[in-house]
Structure 1
Amino acid sequence: MCREGGCGACVVTLSKGDPLTGIIQHRAVNSCLLPLMSCHGGDITTVEGIGNKKDGYHPVQSQLADMNGSQCGYCSPGMVMSMYSLLQKKNGADVTMKDIESSLDGNICRCTGYRPIMDAFKTFAKDAPPELKSRCVDLEDLGNKLCPKTGAACAGNCVTSNGLNTEVFQMGNWYRPESLEQLTKLLKSFGERIKYRLVAGNTGTGVYKTDGPYDVYVDINNIRDLHKISKNTPLIVGGGVNLTDLQGILSSVGSTNTDYWYGQILAEHIGKIGSVPLRNAGSIAGNLMLKHAHREFPSDLFVVLETVGAKVTIMGSDGEILQFGLPQFLETDMKGRVILSVELPPLSKDHIIKTFKIMPRSCNAHAYINAGFCAKILRQDSIRIVGKPTIIFGGIRSSLIHASETENFLSDKCLDDEKIFRGALNVLEQELCPEEHLLNPDSDYLKCVAQGLFYKFALTVIGEKSSSFLKSGAHNLERDIMVGKQDYDTDSKEWPVNQPTIKIEARAQCSGEAKYIDDMPLRADELHGAFVLSTMANCSIDKIDASEALKMEGVVAFLDAKTIKTGNLFVFAHGAFDSETDEEVFSSGKVLYSGQSLGLIVAHTQSQAAQAAKLVRVSYKDCQIPVLKIKDAMKHPERTMIHAAGPPNVFDVGDVKGVFFRHCNLRWLNWLFIALSLVNRWFLSI
């Protein structure tokens, strides 16, 4: 598993009472991020718990197996539990295909492909097409698991006790206060020497794994004051509210309170943060504190809240309550303090708000760049910005929040004036100054995208006054419901040969009963390995010293190119893998890339091997400057390898040319030539 909430293979269902109402809520969470102690008072349901070979399979498991939704099966339990959690949340009814696609945004499959998985789960949707509905089970029974108290189908009316414990629960270094008074006393008792972490969803550990170590952990999920919500004006949402609930609150308020007409805009953007399991666990305060601790973090929540001018209310261990704007909050010392709530201001409908997130995938990914724009507009003969607009960027550089110079330039200006618009673009280009980092996109790309997002906002402001050729640029691309189809032929006369059938191990994979390497019990004589990897590229090995590692308890041996006895090649040149060069198990001298395997520590446990691998000392020589860009590589032909083309795989069967010309009619050729000419014209016009 990824151990960062990124793959979804570990999803389970957490059933726990709402801190305010006590009503049991069912939600999908990533078990790899969920601290065991935070599960106190709730129920965890795993894939084995909803169905198995002995007790029978749940319809979700059977459907995924029967419709060929598993291949290697490693991701299947997480897929099943994401779907099961959705059905539990909605009591098996009113589930749409859009709901299903959204609920699986945190589940990654690397071999099956998503079509059969989606087809299997969409049979449970009320708006599924007829060919899928015909393969569905009774929807009314899907969300009804048996109540452990009565033995009847669960009605979803159970509540948990809301009684307040007078003493703070403690087990080891884990504390769970249940009131602000208990929390402030606890924080005050820690003083300056104890390093603590406030825990809500713990999703931040998937982003910044090296934060800590911490002396104590404080679970704040049971503090009701951190979950209070006021849907009146002003809109106030508690810091402990998770992002899924915040999304629902904004959508609801946006349709019922005219002061917050923009709620749906913010809700749609929040729906792009992480995935459903991450949003189910991650809190408002946790996300903002992650931005507070790591300024480079491209927090989408920070961007959208600052776009509308939200404020943060915090409370100190002395009981003092303060309110800050978000930029001021970032400069505030939060030692001994906790975020109580965020307050969103009312805005009139003559404001225009646009937010954007540019990312490598449509969901479950950090932003390359995110942005928010807000301006009050006066429409007369021209389109004038009233006062100073708000222009926010994330992902450009850690010190940039507002594009202040561009905001000042546009203050009380007419945005439909071409000179003003071009001037704003020039000012924006000058003040962006993206940070150079190997993991970030190219700075020219970031500048270009940032200007493009401002252009989309400007087109939205100008509206009908823009030319028909440009109007579509104001709209975001909408992703439709996924559609796929598979057709294949089968001859019943030859059955059972080529007869469609369910894979033998499919149900075991979809119920968590399939055994993988980590599921197998350890043998008494089993050893574990950890690779020693290069930290440099384009260089040679000078010396490898494993003496300190070999002194560690449990370490058995260190293997490298000199000591391996079975040969040091795993790919032979011009062999089965069509490689032009030999590929070594361990580098024998030349280091081709950072992360290349140099050796292997063998120990009695995995942790011993991993720790010992860090103690191996490697020195390098003949280091060359890495070539990281294609343009730079072209300047060094002596370091560039031209890969020879392999023999063409051409198979002529029958009269190919004759058949082609006999069956290719003129109308088809005419459309082909028209299409090619259109493509050619399109490229020429760029």
Structure 2
Amino acid sequence: KLTLLHYPANACLIPICSLYGAAVTTVEGIGSTKTRIHPVQERIAKCHGTQCGFCTPGMVMSIYTLLRNHPEPTLSQLTDALGGNLCRCTGYRPIIDACKTFCKVSRKEHIFEYIFSSMKQNEEEFLPLDPTQELIFPPELMTMAEKQPQRTRIFDGDRMTWISPVTLKELLETKVKYPQAPVVMGNTSVGPDVKFKGIFHPVIISPDGIEELSVVNYTDNGLTLGAALSLAQVKDILANVILKLPEEKTQMYHALLKHLGTLAGSQIRNMASLGGHIVSRHPDSDLNPLLAVGNCTLNLLSKEGKRQIPLNEQFLRKCPSADLKPEEILISVNIPYLRKWEFVSAFRQAQRQQNTLAIVNSGMRVFFGGGDGIIRELSIAYGGVGPTTICAKNSCQKLIGRRWNEEMLDAACRLILDEVSLPGSAPGGRVEFRRTLIISFLFKFYLEVSQILKRMVSGTDHALPFPVLGNADPKQLPQDPVGHPIMHLSGIKHATGEAIYCDDMPAVDRELFLTFVTSSRAHAKTVSVDLSEALSLPGVVDILTEEHLHGINSFRLLTKPEKLLSTDEVFCVGELVCAVIADSEVQAKRAAQRVKIVYRDLEPLILTIEVMSSKVGPEKQISVKQERPSNSKWLPKNRGFAAALVHIYLDGSVLVTHGGIEMGQGVHTKMIQVASRELRMPLSNIHLRGTSTETVPNANISGGSVVADLNGLAVKDACRTLLKCLEPIISKNPGGTWKDWAQAAFDESISLSATGYFRGYESNMNWETGEGRPFEYFVYGAACSEVEIDSLTGAHKNIRTDIVMDVGCSINPALDIGQIEGAFIQGMGLYTIEELNYSPQGVLYTRGPNQYKIPAICDIPTELHVSLLPPSQNSNTLYSSKGLGESGVFLGCSVFFAIQDAVSAARQERGLFGPLKLNSPLTPEKIRMACEDKFTKMIPRDEPGSYVPWSVPI
């Protein structure tokens, strides 16, 4: 019987050819404002789980897929489903709130029990989730799957051929015909290589639905899993096996599950296959070290027959004698049960807990044969410490026959450090940290096994925490539109995928596209720039250079002018050299790669502020006289004003336009609330048009946390102007409706349009004496955080954070709390995770999500409480509110200082009481190396200058 499988996938990775016969569901397909919205879309919007909305479609589809498979999911399933999604704005808490309304927990208690009453959403107010009303699988595809003859499908392109065999025989024949062609299942390994490394495969083989590749066999010795099973399927299979078998047999499966829970995100795990993960043999693979120590074997097949090879160090090093032959394919993997007195553990440490490659990982296994504690077998393998997975085979051999005690541990650490060596210039850097992890993992394994041997249960591993919701002061809300937690005006459009972003806008007629060519040197003289090849490409219109911008080749905001294009001398990697203009974005980027620049490196390389300051130090400066007082040079002019335009239509509806730009902060929503209060009409009557210079010209910049503050006063001014004009009309018919009043005003030729303007706050600051008040208000906040650290690995857990923020009288508490939480999580990432790594040549390594990590849902505090401080005074601001923005970013440093205190406590336990200097971001590497112990002292150190480091501190 055919079964339907629902799974999320990365659109940027999954090949179109692999979707033959599949039904692809997108966020636009499950619901829209034009038909009906899906409960997932509604709840994520109503629970304020969207700000800029860029991540919202992905969040919606991850939750939707989870609900198709599990209509009443558990909290752990929810965390797992969202592990591959990232959000920069919300801090994740409101997204979790939306998800929890579908969980079993939410049936017993209201999801917003910690939030003041006006922010509560009764479950009855949500659209019900009815599985019978979901999209059905297209009948024509079902018929095709049941009745269409199975035969190999071939898709021919201009440069590549995609072959999808549907039987094992056809697969083997295809592999004989194209022995060098890669076998692709999820495209999670080959895809990035093609896109980022330029590797070209003229033929790709992708098996489709071959039963022999998806087997699940239980034998007397272990479990056999098909190579085509996705990692998500393997995870589910292992979870079921653990429930059925004795615990002593399933330790290996427990360890695999531990790594599968943190390996990538659910989208990748649903695409990537077990066989592909193994055969790719990436040096930082999480599963291969564990499978290698577990005596696993690989079942291979070719036209010549079957054979079996061990998954050992020789295979992982791609030794010809232990590798697959070109015409062979991996059919399945045998994972043995463990014996009594045999123990296995898995370890990994990464920049964040989930969805990131490990810095170092390890699999360790020991077999005693009895309760005497004498080592009979020992296997240890590491990932992330070499070009391949490294097995400490010689060290393990020397430890056989030793008793499991501290003397053995000390000897094992020294043996392994000698065998598993890491050069000072190793790719990836963090060399001393990685050396320390090698033996720290061994110590953790020693402790775990020792506790089991003593019939003690180790409590080191816990399920990922689930956040508690925020709270705020219940006295905050007045009984009018201002002060209510109104849903983000664009929330539904974000959730349905209908919101239009720049990339969604179609090109206009004769539109051109520009791509910059940037410097590849940190400090160099440009010898020559050859544009000929780039200009010869079709679609290229011109290439802009410094010569074209003579006299205007600079830009500035508040600082001194800076060159826009530099074709003479460059001072950093990434400096703009020239710009290619073409009729399409693709052609512009392609031509930019064809611009040939010859440099002559100059000394010194400009990598630090100190070096840069030597280039522009006092001896390099010249004196410039200005006709301005020196103490006012930083006072910007023409800032702090705002304008708005408000129309009333004959049907009683209102259209508001203003000069602020909606970036997710909810300024449009707040402007409607302002108009609703001033005009004393329902929110449903008021509409807002997107910001445009056609309606509000010469608008101020949107930034500095003052957009709603300033534009709200302009909207207020316009509304009051209209009300003043309409006072005679309203006084004649006080019981009338806005439709009546608008018609009456129209009949009497009274204007139903008004502009509003706010000139900015007046400063009474005397800059000469330093007395007075330079600004109308300040935003204050405080945060207290509690953390735990693992002094052996450098990992930390955010247990609880309490935030109090002074926002005056909040116009929209839901939006303001969202800004506070999002800013705090950003700050937490800034101070603990988000590290920039530069090469010795000044190239930034951390340029994308694979290298630069931001907080994920697993990194937020287990408990997060936000309170809004009751306003202590009325001000001249908009309804006594304060502009907020993401001013709470700095509060993330409370996590930094909590970790610093924890590190100090760990050091004091070891008798280290001296001064401690820790720089942000406080990454696992810095935490671990600051917790000095015998292991940090045991590792070898490289003499400075004896090697070229992979990265340099900036």
Instruction: Specify the TM-score bucket, using the shorter chain as the normaliser.
Output: 0.7 to 0.9
Q: CA deviation at 1:138?
A: 6.8
Q: Deviations over 1:113-143 (max 9, x none)?
A: 2111111111111124723176434765157
| Residue aligned with 1:56, SS | coil
Question: Is the counterpart of residue 350 in structure 1 residue 322 in structure 2?
Answer: no
2:39 match: 59
| Residue aligned with 1:618, SS | strand
1:385 match: 375
2:566 match: 587
1:606 match: 585
Q: CA deviation at 1:288?
A: 1.7
2:9 match: 29
Contact 2:291 2:311 (C-alpha < 8 Å) held by counterparts? no
Name the structure, 1 or 2, with higher relative contact order (CA <8 Å, separation 6+). Answer: 2
> TM-score w.r.t. structure 1 length?
0.81
Q: CA deviation at 1:58?
A: 0.5
Moved more, 400-409 or 446-455: 400-409
Q: Write out aligned runs for 1:542-621 (5 A).
A: 542-564=527-549, 567-572=552-557, 575=558, 582-587=561-566, 589-621=568-600
Q: Distance in 1 between the 2:78 and 2:239 partners?
A: 19
Q: CA deviation at 1:634?
A: 8.3
Q: Which of 259, 268, 274 is 2:258 aligned to? A: 268
| Residue aligned with 1:199, SS | coil
Q: Which of 173, 177, 182 is 2:170 aligned to? A: 182
Q: 1:635 to 1:54 in 2, by over 3 A?
A: closer
Q: 1:211 to 1:285 in 2, by over 3 A?
A: farther
Question: Is the counterpart of residue 253 in structure 1 residue 228 in structure 2?
Answer: no
Contact 2:251 2:343 (C-alpha < 8 Å) held by counterparts? no
Letter in 2 for 1:198: V
| Residue aligned with 1:203, SS | coil
Q: CA deviation at 1:322?
A: 3.8
Q: Which of 42, 56, 66 is 2:22 aligned to? A: 42
Question: Is the counterpart of residue 112 in structure 1 residue 90 in structure 2?
Answer: yes
Unaligned stretches of 5+ in structure 2? Answer: 113-120, 619-633, 635-766, 781-899, 913-954
1:520 match: 505
Contact 1:164 1:178 (C-alpha < 8 Å) held by counterparts? no
Q: Write out aligned runs for 1:447-458 (5 A).
A: 447-458=435-446
Q: Distance in 1 between the 2:616 and 2:278 partners?
A: 46
Moved more, 506-515 or 246-255: 246-255
Moved more, 512-521 or 167-176: 167-176
Q: CA deviation at 1:231?
A: 2.3
Letter in 2 for 1:607: V
Moved more, 561-570 or 64-73: 561-570
Contact 1:531 1:600 (C-alpha < 8 Å) held by counterparts? yes
2:68 match: 88
Q: 1:305 to 1:592 in 2, by over 3 A?
A: same
1:76 match: 56
Q: CA deviation at 1:86?
A: 0.2
Q: 1:431 to 1:561 in 2, by over 3 A?
A: farther
Letter in 1 for 2:292: E
| Residue aligned with 2:374, SS | strand
2:828 match: none
2:292 match: 306
Q: Deviations over 1:337-391 (max 9, x none)?
A: 21100001222131111101211121111111110100013565x632123x110
Q: CA deviation at 1:169?
A: 2.1
Q: Write out aligned runs for 1:395-406 (5 A).
A: 395-406=384-395
> TM-score w.r.t. structure 2 length?
0.59
Question: Is the counterpart of residue 125 in structure 1 residue 125 in structure 2?
Answer: no
Q: Percent identity?
A: 26
Q: Write out aligned runs for 1:194-213 (5 A).
A: 195-205=180-190, 207-208=192-193, 209=195, 210=197, 212-213=199-200
Q: Deviations over 1:241-269 (max 9, x none)?
A: 00011111112222323343432221121
Question: Is the counterpart of residue 228 in structure 1 residue 215 in structure 2?
Answer: yes
Moved over 6 A (4+): 633-637, 639-642, 646-654, 676-681
Contact 2:217 2:223 (C-alpha < 8 Å) held by counterparts? yes
Contact 2:101 2:111 (C-alpha < 8 Å) held by counterparts? yes
Q: 1:70 to 1:498 in 2, by over 3 A?
A: same
| Residue aligned with 1:563, SS | helix
Letter in 1 for 2:367: K
Q: Deviations over 1:184-210 (max 9, x none)?
A: 11222236xxx5232211111454333
Q: 1:313 to 1:588 in 2, by over 3 A?
A: same
Q: 1:624 to 1:308 in 2, by over 3 A?
A: farther
Q: Deviations over 1:378-422 (max 9, x none)?
A: 565x632123x1101000001452012321232121131x33321
1:475 match: 460
1:340 match: 331
Q: Distance in 2 between the 1:566 and 1:460 partners?
A: 70
Contact 1:312 1:326 (C-alpha < 8 Å) held by counterparts? no
Contact 1:543 1:619 (C-alpha < 8 Å) held by counterparts? yes
2:278 match: 288
Q: 1:164 to 1:383 in 2, by over 3 A?
A: farther
Q: 1:651 to 1:147 in 2, by over 3 A?
A: closer
Q: Distance in 2 between the 1:461 and 1:493 partners?
A: 60
Q: 1:507 to 1:635 in 2, by over 3 A?
A: closer
Q: Distance in 2 between the 1:443 and 1:343 partners?
A: 35
Q: Distance in 1 between the 2:143 and 2:245 partners?
A: 30
Contact 1:123 1:135 (C-alpha < 8 Å) held by counterparts? no
Q: Aligned residue pairs: how many?
A: 613
Question: Is the counterpart of residue 364 in structure 1 residue 355 in structure 2?
Answer: yes
Q: Distance in 1 between the 2:206 and 2:905 partners?
A: 62
Q: 1:455 to 1:207 in 2, by over 3 A?
A: farther
Q: 1:639 to 1:565 in 2, by over 3 A?
A: closer
Q: Distance in 1 between the 2:777 and 2:235 partners?
A: 59
Q: Distance in 2 between the 1:174 and 1:31 partners?
A: 18
Letter in 1 for 2:53: G
Q: 1:462 to 1:149 in 2, by over 3 A?
A: closer
Q: CA deviation at 1:517?
A: 1.5
| Residue aligned with 2:14, SS | coil
Question: Is the counterpart of residue 498 in structure 1 residue 487 in structure 2?
Answer: no
Contact 1:187 1:317 (C-alpha < 8 Å) held by counterparts? no
Letter in 1 for 2:329: V
Question: Is the counterpart of residue 534 in structure 1 residue 519 in structure 2?
Answer: yes
1:408 match: 397
2:629 match: none
Q: 1:372 to 1:162 in 2, by over 3 A?
A: farther
Question: Is the counterpart of residue 169 in structure 1 residue 157 in structure 2?
Answer: no
Q: CA RMSD in A?
A: 3.5
Letter in 1 for 2:152: V
Contact 2:252 2:337 (C-alpha < 8 Å) held by counterparts? no
2:662 match: none
Contact 2:187 2:272 (C-alpha < 8 Å) held by counterparts? yes
Moved more, 171-180 or 483-492: 483-492
Question: Is the counterpart of residue 429 in structure 1 residue 414 in structure 2?
Answer: no
Contact 1:490 1:498 (C-alpha < 8 Å) held by counterparts? no
Moved more, 279-288 or 79-88: 279-288
Q: Distance in 2 between the 1:96 and 1:126 partners?
A: 7
Q: Deviations over 1:416-474 (max 9, x none)?
A: 1x3332121112222222255686132111101111111101111222789x9xx97x8
| Residue aligned with 1:427, SS | helix
Moved more, 402-411 or 441-450: 402-411
Contact 1:221 1:240 (C-alpha < 8 Å) held by counterparts? no
